Amino acid sequence: MRCRETRTEREPFDSADREIILAVNDPEQLDYVDALPMTDEEQDAKFSQVAGVSVFSSEGTTEAIYSAAGAVIRGSDLVVEEYYETAFAIIRPPGHHAHKISEGFCFLNNVAIATQHVVDHHHIERALVVDFDVHHGNGTQELFYGSKQVLFFSTHRRDLSYPASKSSVNDIGDGVGLGYNINVPLKKGFNDVDMLYVCDQLLGPVATAFKPEVVFVSAGYDAGEGETIGGCNVSAKGFGTIVRKLLPLSGGKMVLALEGGCNLVHLPICVSHTIRAILGDEDAFLQDSDYRDKLPFKSTIRTVNTIKHNLRLCWDVFKEKPSVILNNSAVPIFVNVFFLVNLYLHYFCSFMQ
């Protein structure tokens, strides 16, 4: 892949080890993955307990599933061990809907598996998972809902029929994990201004208080312009800006994994802007002056205020009105980014060449 060779590298990786996956998933779920492909009838007859809605398979699906998880695990190892500052796993299938059940085009939750891996094997005590896919990351939420080692933060469109999960502002975790699950449901058509308002008013303050040692990003681009299913208007520069704001939170240690995105014209542009924003290319992200004076939807402001109210007993930062604002200009430029690709995305490679 010829994409700014002096600043990025492409790394090899292996398929995910079963023992690492089993820290998150049950053996029966791996039995199901190993048996693919199969018809819907076979799936219903043999694996109804672990196979949910909208999972489809063909020859090579099993290998792709293990490969996708392996890519994110490899990325997390090299970032946590400080071989690289940032990794982007360009993978299929995605994973953020999968939990103990495979569903929504997701078989195994790649980000959750890698997150649990760094907690178990690298003794990470605080990991932040940010999911900006237009669909709620129900699988990741389900797997970490009672944990205070993993702070899960999801922005998503509130009126989509899938997933029918606990994705409201009131779903803030359970037990010791109370306050460590944050859902930001937004109205149809939300855009850069809405997303960056959420980043500045919610994500920035809570993440700064949390002090993550590593940040995982479920990078779904179906909230972007041109994505008919998503019906929203986040620009490629908007995505670049979001990721740019995340870099300082963990000293630049960030692992991104591709989630949603169906528009084959829009998707590679968004991914390339994300990568170039991480590298510091100023034409890949918005400047503060591009959006600071613009107002988000009134519903976005109400949602943010409600979330602050709900979290006020969990996070001291929300007991007071002032919020931490993450400024792009304060973000250092990191020059070592690498890619882990388990599927030949010819449109992406062509775009980057």
Question: Cα–Cα distance between 99 and 30 in angstroms, integer?
Answer: 12
Q: Which are the contacts of 278, defined by CB distance < 8 A and separation ≥ 6?
A: 86, 243, 244, 247, 254, 334, 337
Catalytic residue among 96, 97, 266, 273: 97
DSSP annotation of 130: E
CA atoms within 13 A on the CB side of 2: 3
Q: At what angle do helices 266-279 and 236-246 cross, to 10 degrees?
A: 30
The letter for the amino acid at 127 is: A
Provide the b/e sequence for 183-222 (b: ≥16 CB within 10 Å).
Answer: bbbbbeebbbbbbbbbbbbbbbbbbeebebbbbbbbbbbb
Question: Cα–Cα distance between 311 and 305 in angstroms, integer?
Answer: 10
List the one residue out of 225, 257, 288 whose CA is nearest residue 113: 257
Strand residues in the chain grouped as ranges (E) = 8-10, 86-90, 127-131, 150-157, 181-186, 214-219, 254-258, 337-341
Question: Cα–Cα distance between 68 and 237 in angstroms, integer?
Answer: 26
Q: Is 97 a catalytic residue?
A: yes
List the one residue out of 274, 270, 257, 286 whose CA is nearest residue 192: 286
Q: Is the dihedral of CA 265, 271, 272, 273 positive or negative?
A: positive
Question: Cα–Cα distance between 326 and 341 in angstroms, integer?
Answer: 31
Catalytic residue list: 97
